[in-house]
Amino acid sequence: MYEKITNAVEKNSKLILDAERYIWNNPETGFREWKTSKYLADIFEKLGYKLTMAGDIPGFYTDIDTGVPGPKVLILGEMDALICNEHPEADTKTHAVHCCGHNAQCAALVGIAAALREEGAIDGFCGSVRLCAVPAEEGIEISFRQDLRKQGIISYYGGKAEYLHRGYFDGVDIAFMIHTTAGEKASIKKGAVGNLRKAVRYIGVAAHAGGSPSKGINALYAATLGLSAINSLRETFKEADLVRVHPIITSGGAAVNAIPSDVTIESYVRGKTLEVIERENKKVNRALIGAAVSMGAKININDKPGYHPLNNDDTLIELTKEAMEYVMGKDGVVVEGGFSTGSTDMGDLSAIMPVIHPYMPGATGNAHGSDYYIKNPQVACVDSAKVQLILLNMLLTDNAKHANRVIEKKCVQFASKDEYFKRIQKLDSEGERVKYCENGEIYISSL
């Protein structure tokens, strides 16, 4: 039934598999994917696409307009790698490596772009298709992104939120992409938790650690008390809310013979809804601040919205399952329901439009780990492109009957991107949280 599509992809399998290898061998972390972006842009241009480049950050998009009125469907491929020092194939200088398989996503996007240029590929389609190579899905290198923000280059730390903010997804009715998994089967979950990013700084007073500790205020002790207080809160997190708080100390002191006076922590606070994240983050901040007060230290907390929880659209789940079953066989697909406790910025798009973010197999090892590889690029890239094109075909043929059904039944939280960005602004706060007064009073600001 979809032979024309699968043949069009197979015909381009060398191009797809070459892209998988090239991008694996040239890993770049978020907002630094210049080589990847250029490589993909060159392929797209050779295929005859006119691109709109983001310009000051990597990535681009292009439109295929059928000339027949109808919905606009966005298909995404993420370009960024992770950092994993222990991975044997990590870049020797940057330690970047594609241990989340985004190289396979980009290769699939190449396959989709190539197949859509084959003769008759979009016959019977209405509406339009936007293909987008997007940067920075992984929420890492926060200080680098803080710098980009200070320079006025980006407003949001996630690539999709940034593209959304810039208007690159304006007019899009439905969006999808496929992530790679090390699982055995193609899989679809109902969604994934969202998150908030924290950067915390405890400021104490340095003094000789042996000679005069009484003159110091130990910021490291304040920080460890803060982490301990968060741990004491864990049993108050409701299981259904899927809260995850996982802080790391990024700087714990400068010299062993001095009382640490400047200690930094980074963390996420994850949860199933924005309300959960907001509520539990207040408790986390209270714990961190209380620890500062107990030591007489200062504390600066910088909270930034991370990713909105992902809510996969129910109608799209149904259609994607069918597309996956066509390629992988009935036993090769599992609809799991439930929420993943990892986060993705596809969640930001799901806040305002119907989306689907399922998984195709083909990887091996632990995601984000040192043993992660794409072991079956045929499945991870070529078959992934087939699934996405079949889904696209389902959505846009037959007068976009299915796409219109998705749009009619859609259940999204925000009517517009402006409404969404205004809401998440409430998760954004920065500054000193404790004030010690001469008269002994202490003022606390948890927000």
Span near Zn ion by CB under 5 A; candidates 92-100, 167-175, 205-213, 430-438: 92-100
Which residue, 158 or 204, is less far from Zn ion as judged by CB?
158
Span near Zn ion by CB under 5 A; candidates 35-43, 96-104, 257-265, 406-414: 96-104
Spatial CA neighbour of 23 closest among 15, 342, 145 = 15
Span near Zn ion by CB under 5 A; candidates 23-31, 100-108, 286-294, 438-446: 100-108
Three-state SS at 340 = strand
Instruction: Note whether 443 and 437 are within 8 A (CB).
Output: yes
Gyration radius of the chain's alpha carbons: 24
Max CA-CA distance within the chain? Answer: 82
Query: What tokens does 394 get?
Result: 């389902």
Cβ 344 to Zn ion shortest distance, Å: 7
Q: Which amino acid is at 232?
A: S
Cβ 192 to Zn ion shortest distance, Å: 11
Cβ 165 to Zn ion shortest distance, Å: 21
Cβ 141 to Zn ion shortest distance, Å: 14
Q: Does 299 bind Zn ion (CB under 5 A)?
A: no
Which residue, 79 or 114, is less far from Zn ion as judged by CB?
79
**Can you name the residues that pair with 305 across neighbouring β-strands?**
196
Cβ 96 to Zn ion shortest distance, Å: 13
Cβ 147 to Zn ion shortest distance, Å: 22
Q: Does 295 bind Zn ion (CB under 5 A)?
A: no
CA distance 59 to 52: 9
Span near Zn ion by CB under 5 A; candidates 10-18, 99-107, 186-194, 283-291: 99-107
Number of residues counted as binding Zn ion (CB under 5 A): 1
Q: Does 76 bind Zn ion (CB under 5 A)?
A: no
Query: What tokens does 160 get?
Result: 């999709």
Span near Zn ion by CB under 5 A; candidates 95-103, 139-147, 187-195, 211-219: 95-103
DSSP string, 265-317: EEEEEEESSHHHHHHHHHHHHHHHHHHHHHHT-EEEEEEEE--PPEE--HHHH
Which residue, 47 or 367, is less far from Zn ion as judged by CB?
367
Instruction: Note whether 142 and 290 are within 8 A (CB).
Output: no
CA distance 154 to 420: 17
Near Zn ion by CB under 5 A: residue from 81, 100, 122, 346: 100
Contact positions toward Zn ion, by CB under 5 A? 100
